[in-house]
Amino acid sequence: MKGIIKEYLESQARIDPCFKEKYKPENFEGCINYITAQAEKLVKDKHGKQCVAVKEEEVFKWARDYFNDGINVKEAEERKLKEQKAAEKEKALEEDPEIEININAEIEESRKKAEEYRKQREEEERSKREHANGQMTIFDILGG
C-alpha cells in the first residue's frame, strides 16, 4: 500500500504545481504514520470494533492533507523544538549536575500530588454513588 500512496502523491505533484511545492518525499514516512494515526482514530470512534474499512479515496485525502495542511512542517518544527530542549537540558546538566536531582524531586512530588488527587476524586465518586439515591447509610446515622 505504501508504494501506491507514494505513486499517488508523486502523480499529484506532477499535475498540481501548488501541491508540488508542499510535497517533500523525504517526509513520506511521516505521512504514513499520519495515515495510520487517522485510521486508529476511526477504530477508536467505532467503540468495540477492532478494525474498520477505509476507502482508498479517504487514505489518499489523508496523504494530501498531510502535506497541504502543513502537518509535515508542524511535525518537523515540534521535533526541532524537542531536540533544542534536550540540548538545553543536557547543557544545563553539564554546568550544574544538581539540576537533575531537583528536576527528579519535582517530578516525584508532582506524581505524588497527582496520585493524591486521583484518590480524592475516587473517594468523592464513591461517596456520590453511595448517596445517589438520597438514602442514609448506617454510617450517616452513627455519625461516621
The total number of residues shown for the chain amounts to: 144
* 124 or 22, greater pLDDT: 22
Q: Provide the residue type at 60 as one letter.
A: F
pLDDT at 130: 61
Q: How far apart are CA 69 and CA 42, in angstroms?
A: 20
The residue written with cell numbers 499520519 in the block is 34
Please work out, in degrees rounded to the nearest 5, the angle formed at the alpha carbon of residue 106 by the alpha carbons of 102 and 108: 115
State the DSSP code for 46. S
With a pLDDT cut of 70, the percent of the chain lying above it is 78
Q: Which three cell numbers stand for residue 68?
A: 497541504
Assign 48 to helix, strand or coil.
Answer: coil
**Average pLDDT, whole number, for the chain?**
80
Highest mean pLDDT among 4-13, 39-48, 105-114, 118-127: 4-13
pLDDT at 105: 74
pLDDT tens profile 39-70: 888 888 776 677 778 899 999 999 998 888 87
Highest mean pLDDT among 49-63, 66-80, 88-102: 49-63
The residue written with cell numbers 512542517 in the block is 73
Q: Tell whether pTM > 0.85.
A: no
pLDDT at 9: 93
Q: Is the pLDDT of residue 104 over 80?
A: no
